[in-house]
């Protein structure tokens, strides 16, 4: 029994160490994007309902490190501030499918072919979904955008920050806030990859997932309802491909898994309509299948050239990968301890309590907290992510609170006391 545990742990650490240098670099670039490109600038560029706004939405979405959960409040705010349905759908498809952190991590485990094809597929999916929505939503009225708060400190009034403050904000977002959001999913992904790599025999994967006729629909069926972030999905796909699954089926998992989950489907259906929901799902299915066929065709045409799928981590010295793994593990451990500490803070019962069932990560907490604190009369806000409860204290109407939470893309329900 201990031998099995030891084997899984070694396989898991190998995957984690392979990804870590690229993840750290990706997180750092994500932090720079967060500071350099304020959210107000993104919103203002997406306020149209035409081809240009769709292209911009995809271009903005591809590098942003937001998963299918974190993208919901951003999309909700985009909609509230004047973005058209076509831009919203384009953003919802292209953003969670990839990101600057996951592009680098994809290269680390799956090599150059996947690292190139994956962001292209995300961009194509965003354009396809946006353009098709443009045709079905002609004549949609779009209101002009309102003022936006600073992406660093949430202050609305005009101000500036020093270079030191901005550098600090880059690191705080990259290695604290972002790691808190997706660190758990990275661990789940590498552990699942370690289990697959050590326990699942190659003959089993080759028999059931080595043929496109079975592997493609099975990957779609598994991926669409589940939640897996763009980065956390990589070690799972890499382990399955190494055991004999077709590369195309792996890409389908990398596209459909991060792009959808039950919360995203509910948001699209509720905020944008059932017609847009159908278009959203159809676009993801078409994109996943199309690029799955493309990557398998390239793989076969190259004579199954292993260099195309050879992870970039082979270029790095082992000591650097291990050191990066230890450093990243420390950040993830800190994030986990912080979450455990936060879950101990129960709501007091002194204010008005709301249940927010689709609140699922620290990004959600920050978004809801900012939205409520922007209301006049609010004295304090306590949010328990574990119980999905929000308590608001102060002299403010419940309807205003509900409206504020809904405005950033969530579905609150007041708890009668």
Going through 166-325 in order, the beta strands assigned E by DSSP cover: none
Asked if pLDDT for residue 253 goes beyond 60, the answer is yes
Nearest-angstrom CA–CA distance, 7 and 199:
9
Average pLDDT, the chain: 80
Asked if pLDDT for residue 44 goes beyond 70, the answer is no
Nearest-angstrom CA–CA distance, 228 and 196:
16
pLDDT value, residue 72: 67
Asked which of 86-90, 316-320, 345-349 is least confident by mean pLDDT, the reply is 345-349
Nearest-angstrom CA–CA distance, 268 and 92:
9
Buried b or exposed e, range 130-162, using 16+ CB within 10 angstroms: bbbbbeebeeeeeeebeebebbbeeeeeeeeee
pLDDT level of residue 404 (50, 70, 90 thresholds): confident
pLDDT value, residue 145: 45
Token reading at 89: 């759908």
CA distances from 87 to 36, 37, 42, 133, 229 (A): 22, 18, 11, 9, 22
pLDDT value, residue 214: 84
Q: Name residue, tokens 């609150």.
A: 412
* 382 φ, ψ (degrees, to nearest 5): -120, 130
pLDDT value, residue 159: 67
Nearest-angstrom CA–CA distance, 247 and 241:
6
- Report pLDDT digits (tens) over 138-151: 655 555 444 455 66
The size of the chain, in residues, is: 417
Percent of the chain with pLDDT over 70: 82
Domains of the chain: which residue ranges? 2-331, 345-414
- 27 and 180 in contact (C-beta within 8 Å)? no
pTM to 2 decimal places: 0.72
- Which of the two residues, 157 and 323, has the higher pLDDT score? 323
What's the DSSP call for residue 46?
T
Give the largest CA-CA distance in the chain: 69
Nearest-angstrom CA–CA distance, 301 and 194:
30
Q: What's the angle, vertex CA 268, arms to CA 264 and CA 269, rounded to 5?
A: 115
Nearest-angstrom CA–CA distance, 251 and 341:
37
- 176 and 335 in contact (C-beta within 8 Å)? yes
Token reading at 316: 């790095």
Token reading at 196: 């697959």
Asked if pLDDT for residue 61 goes beyond 70, the answer is yes
Output the CA torsion 24→25→26→27 (10° steps). 50
Tell me what the mean pLDDT of segment 46-67 comes to. Answer: 78
pLDDT value, residue 229: 75
Q: For residue 389, which of 363, 415, 370, 409 has the smallest C-alpha distance? A: 415
Tell me what the mean pLDDT of segment 17-35 comes to. Answer: 79
Asked if pLDDT for residue 260 goes beyond 90, the answer is no
CATH architecture of 345-414: 2-Layer Sandwich (3.30)
Asked if pLDDT for residue 349 goes beyond 90, the answer is no
pLDDT level of residue 45 (50, 70, 90 thresholds): low
């Amino acid at each position: 029994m201990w031998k099995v545990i030891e084997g899984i742990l070694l396989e898991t650490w190998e995957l984690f160490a392979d990804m870590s240098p690229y993840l750290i670099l990706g997180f750092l670039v994500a932090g720079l994007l967060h500071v350099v490109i304020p959210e107000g600038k993104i919103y203002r560029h997406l306020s149209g309902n035409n081809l240009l706004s769709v292209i911009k939405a995809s271009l903005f979405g591809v590098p942003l490190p937001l998963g299918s959960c974190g993208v919901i409040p951003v999309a909700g705010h985009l909609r509230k501030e004047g973005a058209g349905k076509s831009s919203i759908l384009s953003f919802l498809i292209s953003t969670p499918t990839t990101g600057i952190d996951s592009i680098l991590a994809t290269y680390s485990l799956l090599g150059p072919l996947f690292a190139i094809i994956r962001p292209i597929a995300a961009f194509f999916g965003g354009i396809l979904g946006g353009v098709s929505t443009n045709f079905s939503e002609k004549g949609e009225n779009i209101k002009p955008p309102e003022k936006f708060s600073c992406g660093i400190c949430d202050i609305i009034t005009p101000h500036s920050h020093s270079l030191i403050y901005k550098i600090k904000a880059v690191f705080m977002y990259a290695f604290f806030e972002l790691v808190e959001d997706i660190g758990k999913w990275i661990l789940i992904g590498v552990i699942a990859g370690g289990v697959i790599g050590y326990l699942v025999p190659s003959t089993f994967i080759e028999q059931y997932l080595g043929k496109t006729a079975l592997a493609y629909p099975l990957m779609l069926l598994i991926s669409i309802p589940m939640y897996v972030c763009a980065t956390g999905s990589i070690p799972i796909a890499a382990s399955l491909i190494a055991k004999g699954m077709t590369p195309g089926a792996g890409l389908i998992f990398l596209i459909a898994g991060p792009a959808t989950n039950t919360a995203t489907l509910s948001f699209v259906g509720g905020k944008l309509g059932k017609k847009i929901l159908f278009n959203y799902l159809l676009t993801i299915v078409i994109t996943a299948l199309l690029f799955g066929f493309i990557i398998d065709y390239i793989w076969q045409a190259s004579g199954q050239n292993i260099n195309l799928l050879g992870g970039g981590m082979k270029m790095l010295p082992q000591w650097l990968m291990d050191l990066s793994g230890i450093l990243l593990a420390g950040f993830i451990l800190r994030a986990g301890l912080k979450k455990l500490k936060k879950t101990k803070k129960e709501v007091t019962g002194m204010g008005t309590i709301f249940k927010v069932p689709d609140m699922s990560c620290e990004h959600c907490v920050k978004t809801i907290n900012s939205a409520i604190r922007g209301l006049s009369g609010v004295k304090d806000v306590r949010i328990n992510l574990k119980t999905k409860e929000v308590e608001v204290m102060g002299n403010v109407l419940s309807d205003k609170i509900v409206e504020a939470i809904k405005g950033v893309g969530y579905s609150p329900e007041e708890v009668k006391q």
